A and B are shown apart, each in its own frame.
Chain A
Amino acid sequence: MSTHNVPETFSIPVGPLHVALEEPMYFKIDVQGETVSHVDINAGHAHRGIEYLTTKRSMYQNVVLTERICSLCSNSHPQTFAMAAEKIAGIEVPERGIYLRTVADEMKRITSHLFNVALLVHLVGYETYFMHMMQVREIGQDMLESIFGNRQDIGAMCIGGVRYDLDDKSIAYIKGALAKIEVEVQDFIKTFKTNGAILRRTKGVGVLTHADAITCGVVGPVARASGVDYDVRREAPYAAYDRLPLVVHGATDGDVWSRAMVRLEEILTSIDLLRVCLRDLPGGPVNINDRPDIPPGQAVTRSEAPRGEVIYYLRTNDTPQPERVKWRVPTFMNWDGLRFMLQDAKVADIAMIVNSIDPCLSCTER
């Protein structure tokens, strides 16, 4: 049709620094008109060599270092690392410590999910609602700051238990904050089901089919929204998850909307789990109050971070430093899913689809 000698296919860069991208990832995108025809992902903009550093630090220093791998799942890293050390050394975490680990985990999950879904609304262009959601998230952030003294790196974990305790006053405060968040999140779910702007931008957009989800090995809410019924908290329980009424949420459409809905529903489940934990919180010590040497050995441990399965491999030797620490974060697996989600997507939806995997680059590249 075109009489001009203009190519129909262009190659456009998205990132690593881009107004709508939250993470410094470079996408080389071939477009045909407004439609994405091919995606190439180029990583390496936040590589810090933390894996190398772990072998220069003692086991106990590494609890601090691993917390700094990521900010939104900062609790999952030291927890999974500590679980590996405890497995090698045969350390039994006291019952109260086990419950408090779960409490810290679920509080972080609530604020992490709220952050991601709020950003989605921002990318949809519904700025007032974005600010409202971030305001609700502040209730959770205030909760973290009040209990742990910090908003992101909460420093709750140690090898052999946790480093914080709750009393009646703080438990009452958490329950109050949860009640406020719960009402708002129920409202978010209603909005997501009815609001035209959100539905039009997110329904049927960025689809990852069930088969592709299996092939890519994606994890977490990204997998569950594509019908992969897998949650480490249920499949390979740790902490107190084997005795909690955990509901695993899923969807089958695999689109941006489904991923957001899974996260919103998981916030409500986290609130339920927190209430049960606070009700059943056993007495006794919160940790083993000791720093034993970790003997030579190796262990593989997993946990469900807000974004999905975190897996740690730890090998220790006779020295205080580990011989090798290796971990894989959920986002490391989920980037690949983007190649399928972005295929045939509109250029205007790219940033939103990227956001829908809740990407974390500092985790991915370490």
Chain B
Amino acid sequence: MSRLPQDLEARLAAAAPAGVEFSAETDSYGVTVAWCGLAAAADLSPVAALLKDLGARLSMITCTMPSAPEEEEEDEDDDDSEDGEEKAEAAPKETPKSFGGTPLDGTSYEIDYHFDIAGDALTVIAYVPQGGGIPSLTPLFRNADWHEREMMELYAVAVTGHPDPRRLFLDASVDGAVLERLVPFSTLVNAASTKGLWERLLAGKKGAA
């Protein structure tokens, strides 16, 4: 039996006028894990306010860049909207879209807000296109602070209205958006290597792309 409110889906839909994509699953231990995709990232703030009222605890924020599907095969992304006919009819190069229409071409962001409600888990998913922004949840959930600061240094995603948008772990001298770049392993571990090796590797990388 789920500890999430019975009418949670309806209340989330009421808070997010652009639409939600809700699913929930209860495991054999009786723990429910629910997912709520938002059609518009701007609906995040009212949804978060609703969850705050419900006594939810913000547990984690995950930012990802869903990779572009490979061109040869039909890559069925889990977070894709279910309208498969659009994909089938479209030209092979047609970019798949998230629920809500953000292009999933490898440059968009998916930001997952993992909440705990009385022991059950609810993940609210917002999609942000490259160059877009997402409202900060820190004014509502104080503990979003570090998550959002970490997100801002790992990705080039803009978090608007963050009260203290300093670097968290990375020094200011390090270029931003480190997870969007190829960082050679020797750079990552601060090790030395010959220049020739890297020129060969990077040339090979370009050839493969």
What residues make up the interface of A, taking CB atoms closer than 8 Å to B? 43-44, 47, 49, 51-53, 87, 214-217, 230, 235-238, 242, 296-300, 302, 309, 311, 313, 315, 317-318, 323-324, 326-328, 332-333, 335-336, 365
Choose among B29, B62, B67, B154 the residue that contacts A242 (Cβ–Cβ < 8 A): B29
Asked if A236 meets B120 with Cβ closer than 8 Å, knowing A44-B168, A52-B179, A216-B142, the reply is: yes
Whether the Cβ atoms of B60 and A336 lie closer than 8 Å is no
Given A47-B170, A230-B119, A302-B59, 9 extra CB contacts under 8 A: A43-B169, A52-B188, A87-B27, A235-B119, A236-B121, A237-B30, A326-B60, A326-B64, A328-B60
What 6 A-B pairs have minimum CB-CB distances, sorted nearest first?
A235-B119, A217-B143, A328-B60, A326-B62, A44-B169, A47-B169
Whether the Cβ atoms of B121 and A302 lie closer than 8 Å is yes
Say if the beta carbon of B146 comes within 8 Å of chain A.
yes
Whether the Cβ atoms of A52 and B178 lie closer than 8 Å is yes
What residues make up the interface of B, taking CB atoms closer than 8 Å to A? 27, 29-31, 33, 57-60, 62, 64, 66-67, 75-79, 112, 114, 116, 118-121, 123, 141-143, 145-147, 154, 167-171, 178-179, 183, 188
Whether the Cβ atoms of A296 and B142 lie closer than 8 Å is no
Shortest CB-to-CB span from B166 to chain A, Å, is 9
Shortest CB-to-CB span from B63 to chain A, Å, is 8
Whether the Cβ atoms of A237 and B29 lie closer than 8 Å is yes
Whether the Cβ atoms of B119 and A44 lie closer than 8 Å is no
Contacts of A87 in B (CB 8 A): 27
Asked if A300 meets B145 with Cβ closer than 8 Å, knowing A44-B170, A217-B58, the reply is: no
CA distance A261 to B108 in the complex (A): 47
Choose among B64, B119, B142, B167 the residue that contacts A315 (Cβ–Cβ < 8 A): B64
Contacts of B77 in A (CB 8 A): 296
CA distance A332 to B149 in the complex (A): 12
Contacts of A309 in B (CB 8 A): 59, 116
Whether the Cβ atoms of A336 and B146 lie closer than 8 Å is yes
Contacts of B62 in A (CB 8 A): 313, 324, 326
A315 to chain B: closest residue by CB: B64
Contacts of A44 in B (CB 8 A): 167-171
* 18 pairs, CB–CB < 8 Å, chain A vs chain B: A44-B168, A47-B169, A47-B170, A49-B188, A51-B154, A52-B178, A52-B179, A52-B188, A214-B57, A236-B120, A238-B29, A296-B76, A296-B77, A300-B33, A300-B121, A323-B66, A324-B62, A324-B64
Whether the Cβ atoms of B142 and A318 lie closer than 8 Å is no
Contacts of A300 in B (CB 8 A): 33, 114, 121, 123
Shortest CB-to-CB span from B188 to chain A, Å, is 5
Whether the Cβ atoms of A323 and B59 lie closer than 8 Å is no
CA distance A237 to B30 in the complex (A): 8
Contacts of A242 in B (CB 8 A): 29-30
Whether the Cβ atoms of A365 and B169 lie closer than 8 Å is yes
CA distance A87 to B147 in the complex (A): 25
Shortest CB-to-CB span from A285 to chain B, Å, is 19
B147 to chain A: closest residue by CB: A328
CA distance A61 to B166 in the complex (A): 34
Contacts of B120 in A (CB 8 A): 236
B55 to chain A: closest residue by CB: A214
A242 to chain B: closest residue by CB: B29
Whether the Cβ atoms of B31 and A313 lie closer than 8 Å is no
Contacts of B116 in A (CB 8 A): 309
Contacts of B76 in A (CB 8 A): 296
Whether the Cβ atoms of A297 and B142 lie closer than 8 Å is no
Shortest CB-to-CB span from A332 to chain B, Å, is 6
Whether the Cβ atoms of B146 and A332 lie closer than 8 Å is yes
Asked if A323 meets B169 with Cβ closer than 8 Å, knowing A311-B59, A332-B146, the reply is: no
Asked if A333 meets B29 with Cβ closer than 8 Å, knowing A300-B114, A326-B60, the reply is: no
